[in-house]
Amino acid sequence: MKKTPFFIVFFLMAAYSFAAELPGRSIFITGTAEQSAHRTFFMTSFIAEALAMDLHISDCSCEAKFTFTFHVQRHADEYDPSINYIILISLVDNETQAEIVSFGWPFAELEDMYEHNRFVFYTAAALIPGLIIAEEVEPVVVLVPVRDDRWQNQRFFIRASIDYPIAFYVLQPTGLRGGGQSLIGPDPDHGPLFQRLDHLIMPRPGLTVGLEWLFHNRWSIEGVFQGNFGDLSTLTFFNMGLGVRLMHVFRTTNFMIQPYGAFAMPLTVSSDFIEFPPYAAGGGIQIGVRGPGNGVFFIDSNLMVTLGEVYRRNPYVPTTPYPRRIHYRHFVFGLGIGYKFPPFGQR
């Protein structure tokens, strides 16, 4: 009889040890964040909460029954402008790879999460079989699904597109005869000769590469390098230019819509032109959908207007040499399709 307390203590210790080592009570905790301080904060907090619940923390998912995953990203709430971030939580059964629970918790600043971290962790961990939750914690909650919009909130994007801009040269009447549309040349035998001119329309297929920076939740700026063929019939001349775009970001569940204003500067122009103004301005809109790796497939349409008149050499000098240069107003309607992806390992 005197040995009874010893056996009771031994049994309790063995039972506790067995419970702590149960595979069903083991968990692997992992997470990512756009800011390293966020990852450190939540990782430390969730590990502490797991230990407080007597969960066994494994070093890898292969040794654990469950995987607890979090990701912290920028987030805008149309109903609460103070919200800046959201933490996405999921609990996965490693044996079946089934996602047991998935939800998000929006917050304004990191300090706001001190009072919510325990509740967030317990909300997911409460579904682990056999887990006993402390009485003061209410694990029952109505979860509102939150979409994973990381693809819309990457800090940087590298973009590349195939473009089909169409250049319009609108003839100006300066120096022309015949209603402002004709060149003239003297002919001693038959009187003046007239060469009728018209507007020019030149498709110029090319490409664009660039880097976009989301410097604010609703604003990004993009620098681009553009190249296209200046002479479509021979493809012998390649125009190049630089540009910058200020883009406003609208997000829906399936689309990212970015209207923008643009400014461009040509680096090279065809030798057919005597003078080409150095700047152009305009705007456009880019519409994107989610692609692999948090990238974005997009279509882009824009209109750019050259700031000043374009002067072209008179190509009919032998017969109608006057005037020597022809005036045009120049604008370009562009259409492109491409893909942009986060660099530097962002996901």
The reply to whether 139 and 172 lie within a common domain is: no
Give the model's pLDDT for residue 131: 60
How confident is the model at residue 135, as a pLDDT? 46
Statement: residue 179 has pLDDT above 60: yes
pLDDT in tens, 47-91: 999 988 888 898 888 888 999 999 998 887 767 778 888 899 999
Report pLDDT for 190.
56
pLDDT of residue 317: 83
SS3 content of the chain, % helix, strand, coil (to 5): 15, 45, 35
161: pLDDT strictly greater than 90: yes
- Does this model's pTM top 0.75? My answer is no
Q: Under a CB-based contact definition with an 8 Å cutoff, are residues 66 and 99 in contact?
A: no
Backbone angles phi, psi at 192, to 5 degrees: -65, 145
- Residue 3 within any structural domain of the chain: no
User: Is 80 found in the same domain as 205?
Assistant: no
CATH number at residue 188: 2.40.160
From 124, 148, 172, the end of a domain falls on 148
What is the number of structural domains in the chain?
A: 2
Q: What is the pLDDT of residue 202?
A: 87
CATH number assigned to the domain comprising residue 68:
3.40.50
117-125 helix and 36-52 helix, angle to the nearest 10 degrees: 60
Which pLDDT belongs to residue 22? Answer: 46
Q: Which residue carries 């103004």 as its tokens?
A: 277
In a domain, 267, yes or no: yes
The answer to whether 300 and 288 have CB atoms below 8 angstroms apart is: no
State the pLDDT at residue 16.
Answer: 42
Question: What is the per-residue burial (b if ≥16 Cβ within 10 Å, else e) of 133-145?
Answer: eeeeeeeeeeeee
Are 270 and 231 a contacting pair, CB within 8 Å? yes
Give the whole-angstrom CA distance, residue 96 versus residue 170.
Answer: 66
Q: Is the pLDDT of residue 337 over 60?
A: yes
pLDDT of 52: 87
Query: Among 85-89, 96-100, 270-274, 308-312, where is mean pLDDT lowest?
Result: 270-274
**Joined tokens for residue 105:** 């918790």
108 has a pLDDT exceeding 50? yes
Q: In this structure, are 165 and 256 located in the same domain?
A: yes
* Most confident region among 112-116, 140-144, 295-299 by mean pLDDT: 295-299
Instruction: Give the pLDDT band of residue 137 (cuts 50, 70, 90).
Output: very low
Highest mean pLDDT among 4-18, 250-264, 307-321: 250-264
Q: Are residues 168 and 141 in the same domain?
A: no
Q: Does residue 139 contact residue 118 with C-beta atoms inside 8 Å?
A: no
Q: Which residue, 128, 148, 168, sits at the end of a domain?
A: 148
Same domain, 190 and 260: yes
Contact (Cβ atoms closer than 8 angstroms) between residue 302 and residue 259: no
263: buried, middle or exposed (CB in 10 Å: 19+, 13-18, 0-12)? middle
Could you tell me if residue 14 is inside a domain? no
pLDDT for the residue numbered 244:
97
Residue type, 153: N
Residue 1, pLDDT above cutoff 50:
no
Q: Are residues 204 and 60 in the same domain?
A: no
Q: What is the DSSP letter of 78?
A: T
Please, which residues have CB within 8 angstroms of residue 244's CB and are 6 or more apart in sequence? 221, 222, 223, 224, 262, 263, 264
Question: Tokens at residue 114, please?
Answer: 């001190």
Assess if residue 225 is contained within a domain.
yes
CB 91 within 8 A of CB 127: yes
- The residue with tokens 């493809």 is 235
Residues 164 and 92 in one domain: no
Nearest of 197, 249, 242, 239 to residue 223 by alpha carbon = 242
Dump pLDDT digits (tens) for 289-300.
Answer: 999 888 999 999
**Residue finishing a domain among 104, 122, 148:** 148
Q: What is the pLDDT of residue 130?
A: 61
Is the domain of 323 the same as that of 181? yes
Residue 219 pLDDT: 93
pLDDT at 195 (0 to 100): 82
pLDDT tops 90 at residue 204: no
**Quick check: is 176 in a domain?**
yes
Shared-domain flag, residues 242 and 129: no
Q: Is the pLDDT of residue 134 over 60?
A: no
12, part of any domain = no
Domain range spanning residue 23? Answer: 19-148
Residue 285 has pLDDT above 70, yes or no: yes
Distance (Å) of CA 133 to CA 10, 48, 110, 226: 25, 15, 25, 60
Residue 76 in any domain: the answer is yes
Q: Are 132 and 162 contained in the same domain?
A: no
Task: State the pLDDT at residue 17.
Answer: 43
Co-location of 252 and 180 in the same domain: yes
347 inside domain: no
Token output for 46: 């969730």
Specify the pLDDT at position 233.
Answer: 55
Are 318 and 177 members of one domain?
yes
d(CA 265, CA 260): 17
Q: Element (H or E) spanning 255, and its range?
A: none
Is 325 in contact with 273 (CB distance < 8 Å)?
no
In the predicted model, what is the mean pLDDT of the chain? 82
Hey, CA dihedral for 255, 260, 265, 268, is it positive or negative? positive
